[in-house]
Amino acid sequence: MEVINAAVSAKPARQALGATANIPPRRLDFEFSPSSARYYFQNSSFKSTFLTALSSLFPHGESFFVQAVRNYRDQISDPLLKAQIAGFIGQEAMHSKEHIAFNQMATLQGYPVDALDHDVGVLLKYAQKIAPEVMQLAATVCLEHYTAIIAEMLLTDSEVQQSFSDEVRPLWLWHALEENEHKSVAFDVFQQVSGSYAVRAGTMIPTTIIFFAVALWFHARLLAADGQLLNIRQNWQGLKYFWGGKTGVFSRLLPKYLDFFKPRFHPSQHDTDALLNDWRERLFGINGLLAAQLKQPGQRKKH
């Protein structure tokens, strides 16, 4: 699997630069094993494999995001935004690394996540080949909007938080925190180098179609590998949980998704400052859930 090698090995100076913008890359070195819970979300094959399908998109997907922003980094002169870009690159690199570890666990459990990783890599390389760089950046802005509103939901919904197994929950909470910390970076870069509302809003439609087509295709492959693709009752319950009317986990996000199409929209309009301060303390404060696991800049994993 590919990873953002240059950013993963980011120098402490770059990490400090991101930290000055309140977007600090945090190295945690999560470890998972084949004996980890197979159905880690509500003990459900449908729900767990859906999340694993999303995880399979992250390593190559976040590499794509980083490159889309890097294409324009030299055109940015604002010191704060340059620091935010450094933090964004560092955080996305860590997300890629940790989801590779998570995906390897799923592969060892018999899921074809390595094949999914390969397929999304091929798809994104093709997109980089044929799409203008501004369109790649616009697609990144669109997908960062998805991750931001999903992450906000996770950080505010205690029922969803408790639906994860204890071993897996910290990975998704940490990822959600950092997605909201850097949710405006790609958007602000796009606004400086293009600012076209037509490009931004127009890109969201094909991005949405392609994203859900790939996610559903990957999810079906994981369900088939688990022998659950034709488990109609379980799968119907899972669909209702995620997408059912006004109460579905993701269908509740529709109003915030549609905010993106407002000409004057900016991610900061979804105010998460207090939420993020709370979760920084809960995860990385003195007695935080992940405080002891957090590696200092330059510190390497011991074997």
Q: What are phi and psi of 290, to 5 degrees?
A: -115, 10
Other CB atoms within a 10 A radius of the CB of residue 142 amount to 22
Residues 8/94, Cβ–Cβ less than 8 Å: yes
User: Which residue in the block uniquely carries the two structure tokens 């949405």?
Assistant: 208
User: Which residue in the block uniquely carries the two structure tokens 């935004």?
Assistant: 81
Domains of the chain: 5-29+44-284 (1.10.620)
> Among 88, 126, 280, 97, which residue's Cα sits nearest to residue 214?
126
Q: CA–CA separation, 92 vs 66, rounded Å?
A: 7
pLDDT of residue 299: 56
Residues 82/76, Cβ–Cβ less than 8 Å: yes
First to last CA, the chain: 21
pLDDT of residue 132: 97
pLDDT of residue 9: 37
User: Which residue in the block uniquely carries the two structure tokens 């002169």?
Assistant: 77
> Among 220, 216, 223, which residue's Cα sits nearest to residue 44?
223
pLDDT of residue 245: 83
Q: CA–CA separation, 243 vs 26, rounded Å?
A: 32
pLDDT of residue 293: 93
Instruction: Give the predicted TM-score (pTM) of the model.
Output: 0.91
pLDDT of residue 98: 96
Residues 45/120, Cβ–Cβ less than 8 Å: no
- In tens digits, the chain (303 residues) has pLDDT values of 444 433 333 333 444 555 567 899 999 999 998 888 999 999 999 999 999 999 999 999 999 999 999 999 999 999 999 999 999 999 999 999 999 999 999 999 999 999 999 999 999 999 999 999 999 999 999 999 999 999 999 999 999 999 999 999 999 999 999 999 999 999 999 999 999 999 999 999 999 999 999 999 999 999 999 999 999 999 999 999 999 988 899 999 999 999 999 999 999 999 999 999 999 999 999 999 999 999 866 555 554
